[in-house]
Structure 1
Amino acid sequence: MAGQELLVDVEGRTLRISNLDKVLYPRTGTTKGEVLNYYAQVAPTLLPHLKDRAVTRIRWPHGVQGDSFFEKNAPAGTPSWVRTARVPTTGSRAARSVEAGGGDTLVFPIVDDLATLTWLVNLAALELHVHQWTVGRNGRPRNADRLVIDLDPGEPAGLHECCGVALLVRDKLAERDLVAKPVTSGSKGLHLYADLPGRMPSDDSTALAKEVAEELQAAHPKLVTATMTKAKRGGKVFLDWSQNAGSKTTISPYSLRGRERPYVATPVTWDEVAEGAEDPLGLEQFRFDEVLERIADHGDLFAS
């Protein structure tokens, strides 16, 4: 029944869940109940990758064909048991923080348990975006512990071209003793992550990612661009190095995307990427049901 609410116990927390039959993905008929079920099933794999990371959400209250909005601050009505972190910012969405001495801060939720994850998903937070740094035990942001490069294809390039370029990025990172881990974006391209051997200021990890991108742009100017200008991306793969900036976020592995279909940012193997580079249909974006099957078959491909 539309508008029906249920009280459910999630690991000892009582949550009010609503509108389970509401269709959030009209193209596939995927309901809010199915989305909640996906996140509940994927939680043991997802939560370790959200641990200690401030989470920005994109919410679709009326489904993916309706309007969406970014949400950084924990919303009004956030349960007292939800862990939060106050992060200094100069952004316009800052919340005034007396505790922080009057400076501007954002108050992010930290999603480290199933109850918090379920609470956010019930608010139609389909996408979970995280920084490349974590919050320390003192509640303050630490330096980056990983690097990310977003491979974004400019039409008519697509995932096939991204796979070929991903192999080049992998080799460039390997020259720096960094091991790349590929993740389909759930949208058009690929994300490549590399754990850093030691924590690094975001300015330094951004510079490192930009260096890799510009080296590949120089070596393969017809395939790769490191330039932000969209007009220069046609038929090329843009290596977005900027998502390493301290204020920037990237979709978390195993998060749904608010696209036409319920695709997920999905960790893949390098063999799958190589197949995608050889065959235009060798690798495609994965739906949430396929991701659960992959975890059952292969475990967590994103685990270090």
Structure 2
Amino acid sequence: MTPITEVEGRRLALSNLDKVVYPATGTTKGEVLHYYAATVAGALLAHLYDRPVSFLRYPDGAEGQHFFSKNPPPGTPAWVRTARVPHRGEREAAQVMVQDLATLMWAANLMVEFHTPQWRADTPAVADRMVFDLDPGAPASVVECCAVAGWLRERLATDGLLAYGKTSGSKGLHLLVPLEPTPSDEVTAYAKTLAVEAEAALPDLVVHRMKRELRPGKVFVDFSQNAAAKTTATPYTLRARPEPAVSAPVTWEEIEGCGTPEELVFLAGDMAARLERYGDLLGPLINPNRARPLPTGRRKRRPGA
């Protein structure tokens, strides 16, 4: 029988709790649900709130089939909130809104990664954050990503912008910047400018174009996830990797001191202690007092830049 549980007054059927979904660690689906409910629910829900959610689903476990879904899946309960958001130009479509613990647990039971855009559902294509996805091309690793992150942090600071980091939960690093609401196309253009500047300043380390032949040994500074149609892994989501890797917020001390890739790998079991020690390191992203305006007009070059 499928266990039935009640979460905040909603009845949920939770299935296959003993199934191993992360073979490298033997982590079961039940342990995944416990991670979301007992460890990161408060912090994760704050980053999901009011954002349409896309799911990367892996119902057969991390080594099974993966597929991306923006539409509410078949069987979505009537009480799960949805929002009508633009898809492919003028067309609108429904997407799930994970606004509460019951919805979080319903979604987690589907075995998903949580992905969100840089804008809220009531202001489509108007971003309140900017993201740089730093993606290393082998033999480069997250160590090289950290070096690039440091350069970007300083560069952003010259424009009065604050940057915060998290692991991608895979091989790279994400930098996130709280913004006063700004059209997504303007954010994308600004982020591209900085990616190009980073490549000019660090030509042996950075590439701003996606072409695979350019990327070995370098860090691809992907600015494109600022586009209104794109999404990024939400802080604290588990990733569909062999181990239950988390897209985990990290301190600047950890970024600046990173000497080996293993230092910035965080699994589900690491997060309770990290949250107890640091709280939500990405809390500034949802604090309107930390948001800054995107620079207007073409920035003058700094002396010696």
TM-score by length of 1: 0.91
Matching of residue 13 in structure 1 with residue 29 in structure 2: no
1:95 is aligned to: none
Gaps of 5+ in 2: 285-305
Identify which of 211, 214, 227 aligns with 1:229. Answer: 211
> Paired residue for 2:240?
258
The answer (yes or no) to whether the contact 2:8–2:102 under 8 Å persists in 1 is yes
Structure 2 match to 1:37: 34
Q: 1: distance between equivalents of 2:141 and 2:262? A: 12
CA contact (8 A) 1:275 1:282 kept: no
- Which residue among 70, 76, 79 is the counterpart of 1:78? 76
More strand per residue: 1
Q: Distance in 1 between matches of 2:60 and 2:184?
A: 36
**CA–CA separation in structure 1 for the residues paired with 2:120 and 2:223:** 19
Q: Partner amino acid for 2:69?
A: E
Instruction: Return the letter of the residue paired with 1:62.
Output: D
SS of the aligned residue for 2:14 comes to strand
Letter in 1 for 2:115: H
Unaligned runs of 5+ in 1: 92-102
Question: 1:286 deviation in Å?
Answer: 0.2
Count matched residues. 283
Q: Which residue of structure 2 aligns with residue 97 of structure 1?
A: none
Query: 2:58 — aligned with what?
Result: 60
Partner of 2:130: 147
1:179-258 equivalent positions in 2, closer than 5 A: 179-196=162-179, 198-258=180-240
Cα RMSD (Å): 1.2
Q: Distance in 2 between matches of 1:110 and 1:228?
A: 31
2:92 is matched with 105
Matching residue of 2:266: 286
CA distance in 1, matches of 2:262, 2:32: 27
Identity of aligned residues (%): 51
Deviation per residue, 1:10-43 (Å, 9 max, x gap):
0111111111001111111110000000000210
Look up the equivalent residue of 1:20 and give its one-letter code: L
Amino acid at match of 1:36: L
User: Within 5 Å, which residues of 2 pair with 1:116-155?
Assistant: 116-125=103-112, 127-136=113-122, 141=124, 143-155=126-138
| Letter of the structure 2 residue corresponding to residue 131 of structure 1 | P
CA offsets per residue over residues 94-144 of structure 1, 9 Å max, x none? Answer: xxxxxxxxx63221101110100100111111x1000000012xxx52510
Residue type of the partner of 1:55?
Answer: V
- 1:73 & 1:183 partners in 2: Cα distance? 27
Contact 1:133 1:141 (8 Å CA) reproduced? yes
- Measure, in 2, the Cα distance between the counterparts of 1:222 and 1:212: 16
Describe the shift of the 1:62–1:152 C-alpha distance in structure 2 as closer, same or farther (beyond 3 A).
same
SS of equivalent residue, structure 1 residue 18: coil
Taking structure 1 as reference, are residues 281 and 186 closer, same or farther at Cα in structure 2, changes over 3 Å only?
closer
- The normalised TM-score by structure 2 is 0.90
Residues in 2 aligned to 1:223 and 1:208: alpha-carbon distance in whole angstroms: 20
Partners of 2:125 and 2:201 lie apart in 1 by 34
